[in-house]
Amino acid sequence: MIMSTIETIYNSFRGIKQHSIDHTINFFETSPISLSEFKSFKERKDLKFFIELTWQYTNALFQKHHYNETIDKIILYFPIIENEIERLGDNTLKDNWYYGILFFQGMASHNLHDFKTATPIFKQLLLQDPKNDNYKDWYNSSLYGKRMRISKSIMIVCLTLFAIAILFHKYFPFNVKMSLEGIALLGLMATTIYDYYTKRSRRKNGIE
């Protein structure tokens, strides 16, 4: 039965002499039984094996820069982990392996510039471990990326307004034209100053 094989898979993995990234990925992708076949676990130790194996697999995928696949696997496996922890009523399973899987999802999302997804993940990790400097650095970097996207959008809007005011000035009353140019210039100045001080702050904190 599948329920009895998670320990077998775990022991087989532990028995591999060479745990390189490629060997790890190959192990999980050629295994006769996929991790996705496991939906529930009878005992705590079986779920713990599943969590550790999920960490090993997603770690290898992340280190290989397979970011989309890293996220796909976590989206597939992590809900099972969450449901089973709740069903078994054992929050002690939320250990470094567990939070490490979340960390891979956050880092992979960040590296794909999906800051909207990455930022709340790093925030959740910081709530669990506020003194973790690694979490702080990734959170700040993700927050910066998210804000820069907003800043760039504002800059594009301002440049568009400025171009409209110049190219189609004949069609606007003087006061409307001046208002458009004023709003555009003010927006460009504000975003430029914000970008400058944000980058300066990042350099001071050693994030860049």
Q: Is residue 9 part of a domain?
A: yes
Last residue in a domain, options 87, 112, 137: 112
Asked if 105 and 11 sit in the same domain, the reply is yes
For residues 106-111, average pLDDT: 95
Q: Is residue 119 part of a domain?
A: no
Asked if 12 and 107 sit in the same domain, the reply is yes
For residues 46-59, average pLDDT: 97
Q: Is residue 53 part of a domain?
A: yes
pLDDT at position 144, please? 81
Asked if 86 and 154 sit in the same domain, the reply is no
pLDDT at position 101, please? 98
Per-residue HEC secondary structure of the chain comes to CHHHCHHHHHHHHHCCCCCCHHHHHHHHHHCCCCHHHCCCCCCHHHHHHHHHHHHHHHHHHHHCCCHHHHHHHHHHHHHHHHHHHHHHCCHHHCCHHHHHHHHHHHHHHHHCCCHHHHHHHHHHHHHHCCCCHHHHHHHHHHHHHHHHHHHHHHHHHHHHHHHHHHHCHHHCCHHHHHHHHHHHHHHHHHHHHHHHHHHHHHHHCCCC
Asked if 93 and 177 sit in the same domain, the reply is no
Q: How confident is the model at residue 197 (pLDDT cuts 50, 70, 90)?
A: low
Q: Is residue 48 part of a domain?
A: yes
Structure tokens at 23: 């060997």
152-164 burial: b if 16+ Cβ within 10 Å, else e: eeebeebeebbeb
Q: Is residue 131 part of a domain?
A: no
Q: Is residue 154 part of a domain?
A: yes
pLDDT in tens, 60-77: 999 999 999 999 999 999
Q: How confident is the model at residue 140 (pLDDT cuts 50, 70, 90)?
A: confident
Asked if 18 and 102 sit in the same domain, the reply is yes
Q: Is residue 120 part of a domain?
A: no
Asked if 99 and 176 sit in the same domain, the reply is no
pLDDT at position 206, please? 44
Higher-pLDDT residue of 190 and 135 is 135
Asked if 12 and 80 sit in the same domain, the reply is yes
How many domains does the chain divide into? 2
Q: Is residue 127 part of a domain?
A: no
Asked if 102 and 154 sit in the same domain, the reply is no
pLDDT at position 160, please? 80
pLDDT surpassing 50 at residue 88: yes
Of the listed ranges 46-50, 84-88, 97-101, 185-189, the one predicted with least confidence? 185-189
Q: How confident is the model at residue 141 (pLDDT cuts 50, 70, 90)?
A: confident
For residues 140-168, average pLDDT: 75
Asked if 71 and 163 sit in the same domain, the reply is no
Asked if 9 and 54 sit in the same domain, the reply is yes
Asked if 34 and 85 sit in the same domain, the reply is yes
pTM of this prediction? 0.75
Domain range for 64 is 2-112
Higher-pLDDT residue of 2 and 83 is 83
Asked if 164 and 103 sit in the same domain, the reply is no
